[in-house]
Amino acid sequence: MSFLVPTRAPSDELLDGDVTPAEAEESLADIEWIHRALGGRAIVRRHLVPLLLSVPSPRPVLLDLGAGSGHVGRALTGELSRRGRKLVAIDLDRQLLHAHLSAAGRSVAADALRLPLADRSVDVVSSTLFLHHFDEASVAALLREAARVARFAVVALDLTRHRVPLAINALLSRVAYRSPITRFDGRASVLQAWTIPELRAIAARALPGSLVRLAGPFVQGLLWRRT
């Protein structure tokens, strides 16, 4: 392993634990700002909008795993609307507190490893900054479960473990983050993120035929299409 890629260090992130509604909202607002300011929204748009537009349905259904406040689904819904297509974005998060922050009537509080949905019941299953929360066996189980409910495709976008995003997070912790939870969880997220070769090996076993490649600066993307 290169010096620039630290050893993976799994840990529990504070936002996944027992926090107050105000604390959760403040940290989720930080995450949405990071996503917008550091190019995450553009990466999601570049990888998901063409895929959703190719779904053979006038109203594709997207299931967003680990959706938090639902900002990804809201942005994609707006983007497809500007292109003349309607999108049904369903936000799923294990934390009921997070699900309450997403769009009314479009959120589900559930475990992503045991989705309360029928086989092939949605068009696309996506996740953003989510896979790093899980160990190898759980990532494989999550990918298989996502594929079970997806009619068309599974997409996952996440950090790659590297000292550069670790340094960027340290700087943002000093000058930009409002929440102390974000300051802790940002570092934890980078240190437990998978590298592209690591995720590629997991995906090859769990979802044969999937592709894992660089999606943006220190961001990796996984794509699996049903054939």
Q: What pLDDT score does 33 carry?
A: 94
Tell me which residue of 101, 60, 95 sits closest to 79, measured CA to CA: 60
**What is the third-level CATH fold of 21-159+194-225?**
Rossmann fold (3.40.50)
pLDDT digits (tens, 9 = 90+) for 89-127: 999 998 766 555 555 557 888 999 999 999 999 999 999
Q: Where are the domains of the chain?
A: 21-159+194-225
User: Which residues, listed in sequence order, are joined to residue 92 by a DSSP beta bridge?
Assistant: 65, 108
Q: Which residues of the chain have pLDDT under 50?
A: none
Give the global pTM.
0.94
Tell me which residue of 152, 140, 119, 122 sits closest to 225, measured CA to CA: 152
Q: What is the dihedral of CA 25, 192, 216, 198, to 10 degrees?
A: -150
CB within 8 A of 88, min separation 6: which ones?
Answer: 59, 60, 61, 62, 106
Mean pLDDT over each residue of the chain, to the nearest integer: 93
Q: What pLDDT score does 99 carry?
A: 55
